[in-house]
Amino acid sequence: MCLRAVSACASAQWQISYVASVPVITVDGPSGVGKGTISHMLADRLGWHLLDSGALYRVTGQACVIEGVSWDDDPAVADVARHLDVAFSLAANGEMLVAYKGLDVSAAIRTEEGGRGASTVAAIPAVREALFARQRDFLQPPGLVADGRDMGTVVFPDAPLKFFLTASAAERAERRYKQLLEKGESVSLPRLLADIQERDERDSSRSVSPLVPAEDAIVIDSSATPISDVFARVMLEVKKKGFI
Ligand code: C5P
């Protein structure tokens, strides 16, 4: 029994140090700033795993809708987050598919309403606590690119390379407007801008894990910069760190 205990302990320690040696690059910033695109490109280029932490908050919001739980019922929302039956997979075209209890919710979570739900439930401390370990579970060899709001400050504070992308709210609303028009959705630009500003305010002013750059993050303003230039700047830092 003693031997088994020792070997279990040694194996746990090995696992902890092994996981601790897996590199993480964090990419944080407000919505519509291009983090998702940059994170995808980076994970592809490095052949690393990708954590889209916003998707976890979006699925939590959508799961509440499915389960008939109101977004402002904190204890019930936290319970939904604790038992979140979510699965991620890749479609043939490389798009990420998200299922809740086996039901495809990929499109539903990407709507403006899905974003509102995500940012409302994300302000509940017990929800963040419930999703913390799930996010850490994505840390697997050979490495992880983690996209979110608090990747560099809370979830992976020891990450060796952290980026924080910014862009003006007007620029982000304009980009989102074009994306939605391309998808054939009819939207109002002033409404989008108001939504983005409201979400920024909620994300930045919440008591837990507010949206702020980590002290050691490299801040990149992407307002007037094409995404290819932002990626080139990111790759420069990745090379400096010796990841490639
Ligand atoms: O990144 P995305 O727009 O999908 O995130 C949706 C919402 O989820 C954000 O507006 C934010 O409120 C919340 N979120 C968060 N922490 C993260 C990722 C997303 O609070 N790490």
pLDDT tens for 36-70 read 999 999 999 999 999 999 999 999 999 999 999 99
CA separation for the pair 105, 145 (Å, rounded): 23
Question: Residue 98: what are its φ and ψ, rounded to 5°?
Answer: -125, 130
DSSP-assigned states of every residue in 134-183:
HHHTT--TT-EEEEESSIIIIISTT-SEEEEEE--HHHHHHHHHHHHHHT
Ligand 1 atom closest to the CA of 31, numbered from 1 = 3
Q: What is the pLDDT of residue 200?
A: 92
Percent of the chain predicted with pLDDT > 90: 79
Q: What is the pTM of this model?
A: 0.90
pLDDT at position 214 over 50: yes
Q: Ligand 1 centroid vs 188 CA: distance in angstroms?
A: 22
Ligand 1 atom closest to the CA of 203, numbered from 1 = 12
Q: What is the pLDDT of residue 19?
A: 57
Residues 133-145 have a mean pLDDT of 96
Mean pLDDT check: name the lowest of 40-44, 91-95, 101-105. 91-95
Residues 114-132 have a mean pLDDT of 96
- pLDDT band of residue 209 (cuts 50, 70, 90) is very high
Read off the pLDDT of residues 8-26 as tens digits, 9 standing for 90 and up: 333 344 444 445 689 999 9
Q: Which of 87-91, 147-151, 192-196, 198-202 has the highest mean pLDDT?
A: 147-151
Q: What is the pLDDT of residue 180?
A: 87
pLDDT at position 7 over 60: no
Taking CA atoms only, the protein residue closest to ligand 1 atom 10 is 119
SS3 of 87, please? strand
pLDDT at position 223 over 70: yes
Ligand 1 atom closest to the CA of 55, numbered from 1 = 4
What CATH architecture does domain 24-238 belong to?
3-Layer(aba) Sandwich (3.40)
**Residues within 6 Å of ligand 1 by CB:** 31, 53-54, 57-58, 115, 118-119, 122, 148-150, 199, 203
Read off the pLDDT of residues 140-197 as tens digits, 9 standing for 90 and up: 999 999 999 999 999 999 999 999 999 999 999 999 899 889 988 888 999 999 999 9
Residues 25-37 have a mean pLDDT of 95
Ligand 1 mutation pick, 37, 53, 62, 165, max ligand atoms within 8 A of CB? 53
Mean pLDDT check: name the lowest of 15-29, 71-85, 98-112, 144-158. 15-29
CA separation for the pair 153, 203 (Å, rounded): 14
Q: Ligand 1 centroid vs 106 CA: distance in angstroms?
A: 15
Q: What is the pLDDT of residue 40?
A: 94
Phi/psi zone of residue 29: left (φ > 0), alpha (ψ -120 to 50 degrees), beta? left
Is there a contact between 153 and 210 (Cβ–Cβ < 8 Å)? no
Ligand 1 mutation pick, 33, 57, 134, max ligand atoms within 8 A of CB? 57
